Structure 1
Amino acid sequence: MTKKIGFIVGSLREGSFNKLVAKKFASLLPEGFEASFIEIGNLPFYNEDLEVEGKVPAEWTAFREALSAVDGVFFFTPEYNRSVPAALKNALDVGSRPYGASSWGGKPALVVSVSPGAIAGFGANHHLRQSLVFLDMPTLQQPEAYIGGITNLIDENNEINPDTVSFFETIIAKYIELFQRFN
């Protein structure tokens, strides 16, 4: 049976480097695994006042259903002001509610931070990991997936260099080991 991995990209920008990397990761998944990209840009901000019958936004319901349909999650995040983008944090909040019915719990996770900068989204990567602990998502620890200097790792056609792709393959292989421990 094919296992579905939810792909959540924290950058909403059309030309996002995180989207580029996420698509490459999706193409590298081994047989028996498939990527399911889950949209977060359309989610209204979480507001507990809407968490009552008849008021829950349809986008929240669709997002929670999409999360429930996946077996694991890959997060791709840029760093905004040493943390994760608001859209990504909002998605974490929407998926964790209503209280006691989190859609995240127990799903093995991978955090990849992608940046043109040298520190590779370190702050965002670690802030996201902190939230995943609370959400009860076992998260790949090693190898750490900081992809810094991304503009130096792609060519004029946005093709990622082979050494970097090889690193992505190593990350995925280790994630699959983690995934199999929890499934």
Structure 2
Amino acid sequence: MSDSSILVLVGSLRAASTNRQLAEAAAQIAPEGVTLTIHEGLGHIPFYNEDIDVEGSVPEGAAKLRSAIADSDAILVITPEHNGTIPASLKNAIDWASRPFGESTIVGKPLAVIGSAFGQFGGVWAQDETRKAFGITGAKVLDDVKLSIPGSVVRFAETHPKDDAEVVGQLADVVDKLVAATSETVAA
């Protein structure tokens, strides 16, 4: 396997969120030759506005996001569910990533969406909406790669996801499938 770079976008802005912890665990268990980089700063990107999305004056946070996407081989999105849908910071990142129209570096990039939420379904609504939105941007969404962890506040109250053998196994499977999709994209 050749080296792979996976950009991780975390939909929660909270430093100690269980979704952030899932991202940290995924980065720790990545196989040799695979680097997972958690993107920082989604909360510092202004709301998308075409008036400020002008060459030479794109806000720094948005430019960094676009650059990180361009430099990655694949994207792993790890998100909670806010009021039954995508967190605002993640939706905003999707809007910035999709531009400029026809020139977005996200087009054709393998992308998987997973996450955890307090509710009994583990945030599946937010994950489904996130897959849909990224699919519209042109990303190569891996619809068959899913991981929804319900009851996250209770499950991870005293245990970090990296110490939960079941979760670690599931994360490893997600990363392996994302790397395989990256290899398929390069070969195509």
TM-score by length of 2: 0.89
| Structure 2 match to 1:177 | 180
Residues 62-92 of structure 1: per-residue CA shift (max 9 Å, x gap): 2211211111000011001111100000001
| Structure 1 match to 2:15 | 14
- The 2-side partners of 1:64 and 1:155 are apart by 34
Give how far 1:162 is off: 1.0
- Contact kept, 8 Å, 2:12 with 2:80, in 1: the verdict is yes
Residues 54, 163 of structure 1: CA spacing in aligned structure 2 closer, same or farther, 3 A cutoff? closer
- Contact kept, 8 Å, 2:113 with 2:145, in 1: the verdict is no
From 98, 101, 110, give the equivalent of 1:99.
101
- Contact kept, 8 Å, 2:4 with 2:179, in 1: the verdict is no
Give how far 1:10 is off: 0.6
- The 2-side partners of 1:169 and 1:126 are apart by 21
Q: Which secondary structure does the structure 2 equivalent of 1:163 belong to? A: helix
Q: Which has the higher contact order (CA 8 A, sep 6+)?
A: 2
- Contact kept, 8 Å, 1:110 with 1:139, in 2: the verdict is yes
Give how far 1:8 is off: 0.4
- Correspondence list, 1:129-148, <5 A: 129-148=131-150
- The 2-side partners of 1:32 and 1:95 are apart by 26
- Correspondence list, 1:1-183, <5 A: 2-39=3-40, 40-154=42-156, 156-159=158-161, 160-183=163-186
Give how far 1:165 is off: 1.4
TM-score by length of 1: 0.91
Q: What letter corresponds to residue 75 of structure 2 in structure 1?
A: V
- The 2-side partners of 1:103 and 1:43 are apart by 18
Residues 100-149 of structure 1: per-residue CA shift (max 9 Å, x gap): 22121111011012112211101100000111211222222334211112
What is the aligned length? 183
**Structure 2 regions of 5+ residues with no counterpart?**
none
